[in-house]
Amino acid sequence: MDDRMVVLARAGAGLVLDLDTPWLPRVLHWGADLGPGVDASALRAAAVPGRRGGAPADPAAPSLLPAQADGWVGRPAISGDRERAYPHLRLVPESVSSSDGAAAEIVSRDAAAGIRVVSSLVLDDAGVLRVRHTLHNEGGTPWSMEGLRAVLPVPDHATELLHFSGRWGLEKIPQREAFLPGIRSLETRRGRTGHSHTGLLVAGSAGFGFGSGEVWGVHAGWSGWTVHDAERLAEGWSTLGAGELLAAGEVVLAPGETYATPDVYFVYSDAGLDGLSARLHASLRARPSHPSTPRPLVLNTWEAVYFDHDLDRLRGLADRAAAVGVERFVVDDGWFLGRRDDLGGLGDWYVDPDVWPDGLHPLVSHVRSLGMQFGLWVEPEMANPRSRLVEEHPDWLLSDPDRLPRPWRNQHTVDVANPDAYAYLLERLDKLVGEYAIDYLKWDHNRDLLEAVHDGHAGVHEQTAAVYRLLDELRSRHPSLEIESCSSGGARVDLGILQRTDRVWASDSNDPLDRQAIQRWTSLLLPPELIGAHVGPSHTHVSGRVTELELRCATALFGHAGIEWDITECSPAELSLLREWAATYKRLRPLLHTGRVVRADTDDAHVLHGVVGPGHAVFAYVALETMTVDIPPRLRLPGLDPDVTYRVTPVAGLSSALPRWARPAAWLEAGTVELPGRVLATAGLQAAPLNPGQVLTLELTAV
């Protein structure tokens, strides 16, 4: 490569920028590492298309920030104006630097418009590319930001798109469609990531699946308004892009001020969606802030007691929790001032003396005497109208003071960017964590931000940044504190919030059948140790479905596991199974929380997924529907070492009893079988004849 190229290459992924242009560098390639020895001029010649008679002389290949100045007629990556002047920037590179094929920085400027942009690109050891653009207003008047996104091209054989819809209690419903000419723009204006988003938009080759095909994905690491888009122009160019979605007038830069995009993550895989996940998971696990201790088994009190807080009852629940092997006891909603239901108290972060005359100390001391950590639920960004906070400080709400937005769950949003509100929240949270030596906060966020106004203008951007600052400051004061991102379940799952939290709550529904899909698609972005997954009661309060305990335990196993159930009412048999499951989770979590997540491409009647490590693997096969044939499917186990022979054994307590009329396959009747990984991946194993809602969990160990 010559000095007119920038080449980033790591872990089989590569990006090539062409500097031989008067404008911003053109992106010649993003995808597989092209390897050494590629002639720069030949690659450039191979990438420049021919043209028809009506096309411009220099066809507009996508630049690092596609815009009309370089002939781009799609959605511009950068837009704004200086008091209605310079609506189209003409950025010219001033400097380009790169290091070790892993990072590059391009500084460009439109001198007439008074705008400088610094573009930072980092390709990490997992092959995940992180892009951030920072705009500097060097002019003498304000610059109104309209949009700034990170955009990269994808090849024309990326003909299909994958994205997600969803709702409360049923997040992450996959949507597949053709990648057609035009633009597919996925925008969230909820003030949080939203139940429908993993934050990933994926383009792929025809028929791509979990284990096959080429895929290109993009994710904006931001918790406010975002846009993810896929665009295919008539000229033949196709792009993926993402960034923050800005409201009119939301970001206006005074002279000397800057605006930085959130980190946008681009990831390529030639091994299907599992390959994409493997890169993302490896990238996240390499972070200095990634949880480094075993993920403790949790009991959360919500579905056990709801708002009915009583010291003796919670002590009894803690006793039972410790007896089954729980390591972290979390008190959910209902502990603070005036909080007997969801109509009042939110915002008043003081322990209620009517319920807790001695504070939380008696319960905290009891929990710690049992060898468990103590956690607490909070929702700092929200307040009920019936609260001291709102009554005494109505100006602390994120709204026009004369035009409150419609209530949502009987609550409004606190303007965290208001310095006084920020100071109050920091003082209260700091005091609570310090007084009780709290190990863990379940940090909730239970409404969309409608008509969010801060200081007279659109306020989601400043609200999101202020919440990040609040989390960062609290963590700096209490470095050992862990925080969960919960938002009506899985409505705030993104890599922006996860830069300062330790796990997400994937869904408010613990229905194990719905959770099969919710966790499968949440784990496309996040590794299992960052996804909260709990065993609930047999009757799920969200879906109303009744399920067996073996399935609930097996489903929770493949995440950061916990219990959300009044286990003081469990039968001896249920308690025995929970103890067995807790011991299995602790034994297997070194594998579950470091291994490669794999998923089989199956029909709608069943799912097969697992986690694979060196010489060790765990898989779960779940029947979702009644079979239409007599003989169950073969289980072809992906991701195994083809040259290793594995002993395959059903996991006790995590496999359903067969129906009375059914006879197991021969290997199941024997209780084990030994086969090479290549045989298990191709010929497979005969599945058990399960009814809908039943599970077979398998452990594989190298012989």
Known catalytic residues are 444, 508
Tokens of 460: 């989601």
- Distance (Å, rounded) from C-alpha 41 to C-alpha 255? 41
According to DSSP, residue 411 is labeled B
- Distance (Å, rounded) from C-alpha 301 to C-alpha 275? 37
Indicate left, alpha or beta for 511 from its phi (over 0: left) and psi (-120 to 50: alpha).
beta
Q: How many CB atoms lie within 10 A of CB 691?
A: 14
What is the helix (H) or strand (E) element at residue 463, kind and residue range? helix 460-477
N-terminal to C-terminal alpha carbon distance within the chain: 47
Which of 75, 77, 41, 73 lies closest to 59, judged by CA? 73
Tokens of 29: 């390639």
For 190-207, the DSSP string reads: SSS--TT--S-EEEESTT
Tokens of 352: 């209620």
Instruction: Provide the 3-class DSSP secondary structure of residue 597.
Output: strand
- Distance (Å, rounded) from C-alpha 86 to C-alpha 482? 46
For residues 68 and 91, the answer to whether their CB atoms sit within 8 Å is: no
For residues 232 and 220, the answer to whether their CB atoms sit within 8 Å is: no
Q: What share of the chain is helix, strand, coil (3-state, %, to 5)?
A: 20, 35, 45
- Distance (Å, rounded) from C-alpha 247 to C-alpha 350? 35
For residues 411 and 478, the answer to whether their CB atoms sit within 8 Å is: no
Cα 139 versus chain centre, distance: 38
Which stretches does DSSP call E strand in 295-417?
Answer: 298-300, 328-331, 373-378, 382-383, 412-413
Angle at the Cα of 554 from the Cα atoms of 549 and 558, rounded to 5 degrees: 145
Q: Residue by residue, what is the 3-state secondary structure of 622-678? A: EECCCCCCCCCCEECCCCCCCCCEEEEEECCCCCCCCCCCCCCCHHHHHCCEEEEHH
For residues 485 and 446, the answer to whether their CB atoms sit within 8 Å is: no
Place of tokens 């911003």: 24
Identify any residues that bridge with 619 across adjacent strands, giving them in sequence order: 610, 698
For residues 127 and 12, the answer to whether their CB atoms sit within 8 Å is: yes
Cα 377 versus chain centre, distance: 20
- Distance (Å, rounded) from C-alpha 74 to C-alpha 413? 36
Q: Any residues with CB less than 8 A from the CB of 36 and at least 6 apart, and which?
A: none
According to DSSP, residue 269 is labeled E
Q: Is 392 exposed, middle or buried (0-12, 13-18, 19+ CB in 10 A)?
A: exposed
Do the strands 26-32 and 13-18 form a parallel or antiparallel pair, or are they unpaired? antiparallel
